[in-house]
Amino acid sequence: MSSHRTPIRNPVGFDQPQFWGQYRDSRQNVFLDGNSNLVLRATRDGNSYFGGLVHGLWRGGIGTTWEARIKFNCLAPGMWPAWWLSNDDPGRSGEVDLIEWYGNGTWPSGTTVHANPDGTAFETCPIGVDDGWHNWRVTWNPSGMYFWLDYADGMQPYFTVAATGIENLDEPIREWPFNDPDYTMFPVLNLAVGGSGGGDPAAGIYPQEMLVDWVRVF
């Protein structure tokens, strides 16, 4: 048990202080299923809940395309599955959520680019999620971020965020850290439980699973 927050190691209620720094290293929640799939599993043990999360150590910069093939067998109350990119450098935080689904019953699933860590500069595009296999892709280049679902040659992105900056809701500025020199991001796949996005985990049925066939970076 850690006494401080470990952002990439707390997939249960991870945005709420009472859960910061709590994690376990367990094959019950992150494992391979024997069919080439990585499984992130949410489980319940009495009044305790456990989710699954993996992240990459390699970081990519401008010019990188990220894509993952995912199956969400976890579209249930209390769940918060996501495929996203992060930068945890102090003062340079930004986040690209290729897809998030929310089990709180209130927020629509969607794709979001966050230009700061405060939630005050973002652009989002609602998009439906089902329990089939789908490929979620983003290409990041100097002109912006481009997103595809089940990409095929010649297909137009369903969502584009230009590098002209994202308006801050609290200040008269536009923010865009993604073109800063040496700015990089790393990939994260997680099935969170509870938190603001998942809602009440007690309302869920367990176990729930998020399957990942592959991740491609080029």
Sequence ranges of the domains in the chain: 7-217
Give the tens place of pLDDT for each residue, 125-171: 999 999 999 999 999 999 999 999 999 999 999 999 999 999 999 99
Spatial neighbors of 132 by CB under 8 A, at least 6 apart, are 71
Give the mean pLDDT of 118-129. Answer: 94
Nearest to 54 by CA among 210, 183, 216, 208: 210
Give the tens place of pLDDT for each residue, 31-88: 999 999 999 999 999 988 999 999 999 999 999 999 999 999 999 999 999 999 998 7
Is the confidence at residue 25, as pLDDT, over 70? Answer: no
Nearest to 185 by CA among 80, 65, 51, 100: 65
pTM for this model (two decimals): 0.89
ω into residue 207 within 30 of 0, thus cis? yes
**Under CATH, what is the fold of the domain 7-217?**
Jelly Rolls (2.60.120)
Beta strands in 25-163 (DSSP E): 30-32, 38-45, 48-50, 52-55, 65-73, 79-87, 94-100, 110-114, 122-126, 133-141, 144-149, 159-162
Phi, psi at residue 80, to the nearest 5°? -145, 70
